[in-house]
Chains A and B, each alone.
Chain A
Amino acid sequence: MGFFLEVLIGGLLAGVLYSLVALGFVLIFKASGVFNFAQGAMVLTAALALVRALDVFEQWHWPFGVALASAFVFAAVVMAIVAWVAERLVLRKLVNQEGIILFMATIGVTFFLEGMAQTVFGADVYPLNIGLPKDPLFILESLFDGGILVNELDIWAAVIAGLLVTGLALFFQRTRIGRALRAVADDHAAAQSVGIPLNQIWFIVWLVAGLVALVAGAVWGAKLGVQFSLSLLALKALPVLILGGFTSVPGAIIGGLVIGAGEKISEVFLGPSLGGGIEIWFAYVLALLFLLVRPQGMFGERIIERV
């Protein structure tokens, strides 16, 4: 029982990190109807910008706090540039195209960003230290023999994810821009006709997604080191989206938790009998089975089609 709980908690905490990546997808999809495959590449770009800037600032012997803050600002500026270029050169040119064409265009953006980020910032594995503790922690020792092992970093990641979601919820509900974003998400044409500038909104939403990518990149980078595999996180986040629905922020969170937990539990308890390594497709099959029952995901809006 203790072992099961340990696996479950480990899975849930990993799921939080998937949710962080999935959140970026949901934001862009809600506001522009674009299924942004490039989210993973954005995580990679943000994390590489962050870690390389931090290295440089530390070489200049800036105090750690200042260096870290400046590196975050630098990475945010990089993400702003990415958002601006994406809006200007891709989205604006493809207005009114079908969703699937925009989707393929973002696959192109993915390759471009991956190549670009690695050319500019280098392609090695960079350890990232953002001052989060990494010690293993034993909890509930009174209940179980030897307690349950969790990583302190994962707990911090969960806290950060919680703060981020709260912040985004406030931003969407309470601010002028947030209201405009929701209006655009609801109906492009109607929003435009009441004077909401679409291009600006798209830039803002890509920027917000870029910042979410930065947070995800920082947390994942601190956990695994900043390396190319961060880009593949996007592929991990897709089943989360299917499960949670493309348009729902809570869906992304809960989907992430379900996938994270399901993945770890299946790997530990089912994997050995199947030859191991089933993590990578288990999430997809889970999501696929779910799709057959509810095509719009757990929290997605009902798809109604008219001729």
Chain B
Amino acid sequence: MIYREAGQYKASYQADQAIFPIAQDRFVMLALLAIAFFVVPLVATEYVYRAVLIPTVILALAAIGLNVLMGYCGQVSLGSGAFMGVGAYAAYNLAIRLPFLNPFVCILLSGFVAAAVGLVFGIPSLRIKGFYLAVATLAAQFFGDWAFLRVKWITDYTPSGSVNAPPLQILGWDLSSPTANYLVSLAFAVMLALGVKNIVRGHIGRQWMAIRDMDIAAEIIGVRPMYAKLTAFAVSSFLIGVAGALWAFVYLGSWEPAAFDINRSFQLMFMVIIGSVLGAIFIVVMPIFLNQALPPLGAAFGWRISTATVSHFEAMIFGALIVFFLVVEPHGLARLWSIAKEKLRLWPFPH
């Protein structure tokens, strides 16, 4: 009854082609954005910012990026952790080598560097697909791990291999407070997500989906696979790279190559399987929850639960959930959401 579009007439092409053609969707989205931008800063504490909100927003952006590749273009990638790393180190190098650049400009530019690297590692996708490609993207991951650690130029010859981000400021404003960090990440995420949403609705997005659904058929009806696949790799790597730069500059501050190892890639894949934003919330909150809940729970049964055990439990839950979601709904929560929407439109009537 509430979610009904009767009476909403679309009188122009513009209204018909809008991102959210249904008024209720528009309203909910605007409300969510208003809450995220205005209400959250009023109530959140520094701990909540640092431990939950900032990582969630940045990882959600990375997951949206990977979703372009995996969800829309159907190319599985296990190298996304390395692309985050490329973004982070590109931003770092831009910041130290071109000191007149604002850190935020560096973050945006780093996306283009990541996109270029993504293009190179996307080339095998023209020849191979499926898990062959997944394995090939692992090459990107391992090459990245190695380069961040061993190619000293990338880390500016710091002896420990750990590097520091420049202070975040814009036009003399200091943006290093947690609230500012959060708002900056959120602004990046929202703007880029909006951009991607528009790309996906356009002709490039259609081509990606055609390739995903059946690449040979798509080729026959005139989609150029090379163009479609490489643009998907580039757009996806751009977003992941920006997310990586944000992760390094805004969230970590100083970091080592291990921040972008293969586990990050698996985490991102997991987020995409669950659904980008929800997955990000899950991946950030679950370890905190387990760390808080398991030791007292164990104590209640008289067991002593170490942090190692907690991380093993985390791995188990993580793995079980991947399988669970794939078994219950291989197309992810987004599919469940669209089914729910269809049902809601008719509710409470059966037809």
- Chain A proximity of B85: nearest CB distance (Å): 14
What total of A-B pairs shows CB separation below 8 Å?
Answer: 136
Instruction: Please tell me which stretch of A116-124, A168-176, A183-191, A199-207 contacts chain B, meaning at least 4 of its Cβ atoms lie within 8 angstroms of it.
Output: A116-124
Among B76, B151, B262, the most chain A Cβ lie within 10 Å of the Cβ of B76
- The 8 Å CB contact of A115, one of B124, B139, B266, B319, is B319
- Chain A proximity of B157: nearest CB distance (Å): 12
B142 partner residues in chain A, CB cutoff 8 A: 235, 280-281, 284
Instruction: Please tell me which stretch of A50-58, A145-153, A156-164, A288-296 contacts chain B, meaning at least 4 of its Cβ atoms lie within 8 angstroms of it.
Output: A288-296
B315 on the interface (CB 8 Å rule)? Answer: yes
A285 contacts B150, CB within 8 Å?
Answer: no
B326 on the interface (CB 8 Å rule)? Answer: yes
Interface of B is mostly: helix
Q: What per-residue 1/0 map shows which CB atoms of A232-262 lie under 8 Å from chain B? A: 0001001101100000000000000000000
A1 on the interface (CB 8 Å rule)? Answer: no
Number of interface residues of B (CB under 8 A): 46
Closest residue of A by beta carbon distance from B135: A238
B330 contacts A111, CB within 8 Å?
Answer: no
B128 partner residues in chain A, CB cutoff 8 A: 291, 295
B76 contacts A108, CB within 8 Å?
Answer: no
Closest residue of A by beta carbon distance from B325: A108
A61 on the interface (CB 8 Å rule)? Answer: no
Instruction: Please tell me which stretch of A4-12, A94-102, A209-217 contacts chain B, meaning at least 4 of its Cβ atoms lie within 8 angstroms of it.
Output: A94-102
A64 on the interface (CB 8 Å rule)? Answer: no
A103 partner residues in chain B, CB cutoff 8 A: 76, 130-131, 134
A84 on the interface (CB 8 Å rule)? Answer: no
- Chain B proximity of A160: nearest CB distance (Å): 27
A239 partner residues in chain B, CB cutoff 8 A: 135
B317 partner residues in chain A, CB cutoff 8 A: 115
A90 contacts B139, CB within 8 Å?
Answer: no
- Chain A proximity of B324: nearest CB distance (Å): 8
Among A107, A116, A287, the most chain B Cβ lie within 10 Å of the Cβ of A107
If A107-B269, A112-B316, A238-B138 touch, whether A307 touches B146 (CB-CB below 8 Å) is no
B319 contacts A292, CB within 8 Å?
Answer: no
In chain B, positions 74-130 with a C-beta closer than 8 Å to chain A are 74, 76, 124, 127-128, 130
Instruction: Please tell me which stretch of A71-79, A129-137, A218-226, A270-278 contacts chain B, meaning at least 4 of its Cβ atoms lie within 8 angstroms of it.
Output: A270-278
B266 contacts A107, CB within 8 Å?
Answer: yes
CA distance A35 to B134 in the complex (A): 11
A277 contacts B149, CB within 8 Å?
Answer: yes
B320 partner residues in chain A, CB cutoff 8 A: 108, 112
In chain B, positions 295-321 with a C-beta closer than 8 Å to chain A are 308-309, 312-321
If A90-B327, A284-B138 touch, whether A278 touches B316 (CB-CB below 8 Å) is no
- The 8 Å CB contact of A105, one of B124, B135, B318, B323, is B323
B146 contacts A115, CB within 8 Å?
Answer: no
A110 on the interface (CB 8 Å rule)? Answer: yes
- Chain B proximity of A110: nearest CB distance (Å): 7
CA distance A94 to B327 in the complex (A): 6
- The 8 Å CB contact of A116, one of B146, B220, B316, B322, is B316
B131 contacts A115, CB within 8 Å?
Answer: no
A89 on the interface (CB 8 Å rule)? Answer: yes
- The 8 Å CB contact of A100, one of B130, B316, B322, is B130
CA distance A239 to B139 in the complex (A): 9
A110 contacts B319, CB within 8 Å?
Answer: yes
B38 on the interface (CB 8 Å rule)? Answer: no
- The 8 Å CB contact of A108, one of B132, B309, B321, B330, is B321
- Chain B proximity of A25: nearest CB distance (Å): 11
B308 partner residues in chain A, CB cutoff 8 A: 118, 123
CA distance A94 to B326 in the complex (A): 8
Q: Across chains A and B, which 8 residue pairs bring their CB atoms closest together, nearest first?
A: A108-B322, A111-B319, A112-B319, A115-B315, A115-B316, A284-B139, A275-B150, A108-B323
* CB<8 Å pairs between A and B, sample of 28: A35-B131, A90-B323, A90-B327, A100-B131, A101-B326, A104-B76, A104-B269, A104-B273, A105-B322, A105-B327, A107-B319, A107-B322, A108-B322, A108-B326, A112-B320, A115-B317, A241-B135, A275-B151, A275-B152, A278-B146, A281-B146, A287-B139, A288-B124, A288-B136, A291-B124, A306-B216, A307-B216, A307-B220
